[in-house]
Amino acid sequence: MRIATWNVNSITARLPRLLAWLEATGTDVLCIQETKTTAEQFPADALRELGYESAVNATGRWNGVALVSKVGLDDVVKGLPGGPGYDGAEEPRAISATCGPVRLWSVYVPNGREVDHAHYAYKLQWFEALKAAVAADAAGPRPFAVLGDFNVAPTDDDVWDPALFVGATHVSEPERAALAALRETGLTDVVPRPLKYAHPFTYWDYRQLGFPKNRGMRIDLVYGNEPFAKAVSDSYVDREERKGKGASDHAPVVVDLDV
C-alpha cells in the first residue's frame, strides 16, 4: 500500500501534474494540503476518473485539506475536534478517514507568521488540540498516521542554514516541543534521515533560487503509530516533482506499507 502527503499549493494550479503523478506512482492514498479552493470546486470528478474517492475540508482561497483514496474512505471527520479558531473562524486544516486497513489524518498546521504574532499562539493551541484528538488512535492497535505540512522543522538538520532561522518561526523551541509532545502520544517519524541524500528537504521557497541551491526545509512529515511504523517497507521524498514549470513549492513525501 502506497500512502503519500503533498502540499500542492493550489490544487487548481497543480491539477495536471497531480493527476499525472498519481497515475505514474500508483499511490493508493494521498493526503493533500493547501487546496486553495472550495469543496464544491475541488476536482473530485477528475480524480474519480483515475479511481479515487475524495474527502474534502475546504472553504475558499486559503488553506484547505483533502484525502483521496483508491482503497475506501470511511468514518470521515472534517476539522479538528476541539480545535481553536483564528480571527473568529475555524480554518479548514484537518481531515481524517479510514482508508482500507489504516486510519489517516491530513493536516495543515498554521504557519505562525512571527513568534510575537497572534497566529503563533494559535499555532501552539492548534498543536495541543491535535495531540488530544489523535491520542486514542495513536495508542490503538490499528495502523494510524498523521501526515501533512506541519510548518515545523524538527531539528536544525532539517533547515538548510540554522543560523538564518534564529528567532524565527518553524524552528522555535515551543514549536519543536509541541511537535515532540505530539510524538509522545505514541507516534514516530517514519521517514528518517538520511535517505538517499543528506538532507531530504520537502519545501523550497520559490524565491532566490531556493530549489536549485537546495535551500530548503523538512516540514512535511509522516508520524505513525507502532503498527504503522512496523509496516513501513520504504519511504522517500519525491524531489523530481519539485522540478520544472508549474511545480508546487513542496515535494510529495511517499511511504510504502506492507499491510
pLDDT at 196: 56
Cite the beta strand spans of 128-215 per DSSP E: 144-149, 188-189, 203-204
Of 28, 137, 149, 158, the active-site residue reads: 149
Distance CA 8, CA 42 (A): 13
| Three-state secondary-structure class, residue 203 | strand
How many domains does one find in the chain? 1
Q: What is the CATH number of the domain that holds 238?
A: 3.60.10.10
DSSP letter string over 5-39? EEE-S-HHHHHHHHHHHHHHHT-SEEEEE---SBT
User: Do residues 106 and 96 touch, judged by C-beta distance below 8 A?
Assistant: yes
pLDDT at 62: 86
% pLDDT > 70, the chain: 97
pLDDT at 193: 64
161 labelled catalytic: no
Of 108, 120, 203, 223, the active-site residue reads: 108
Give Cα 86 to chain centroid, integer Å: 20
User: What is the average pLDDT across 219-232?
Assistant: 98
pLDDT band at 195 (very low <50, low <70, confident <90, very high): low
75 labelled catalytic: no
pLDDT at 199: 67
pLDDT band at 230 (very low <50, low <70, confident <90, very high): very high
Distance CA 29, CA 19 (A): 13
> CA separation (Å) from 15 to 50, 202, 246?
13, 19, 10
11-58 residue pLDDT tens:
999 999 999 999 999 999 999 999 999 999 999 999 999 999 999 999
Straight-line distance from the first to the last Cα atom of the chain, in angstroms, rounded to the nearest whole number: 7
Binding-site sequence positions: 7, 34, 149, 151, 249-250
C-alpha cell at 149: 505540512
129-153 residue pLDDT tens:
999 999 999 999 999 999 999 999 9
User: Do residues 227 and 142 touch, judged by C-beta distance below 8 A?
Assistant: yes
234 labelled catalytic: no
Distance CA 104, CA 214 (A): 30
Give the residue numbers spanning the domain of 201: 2-257
Average pLDDT, the chain: 96
Considering only CA atoms, give the Rg of the chain. Answer: 17
Helix, strand, coil abundance in the chain, percent, nearest 5: 30, 30, 45
CA angle 203, 154, 36 (to 5 degrees): 40
CA angle 235, 239, 243 (to 5 degrees): 160
93-125 residue pLDDT tens:
999 999 999 999 999 999 999 999 999 999 999
Whether the per-residue pLDDT at 194 is higher than 60: the answer is: no
Binding-site sequence positions for Mg(2+): 7, 34, 149, 151, 249-250
Higher pLDDT, 121 or 197: 121
Place of cell 479548514: 92
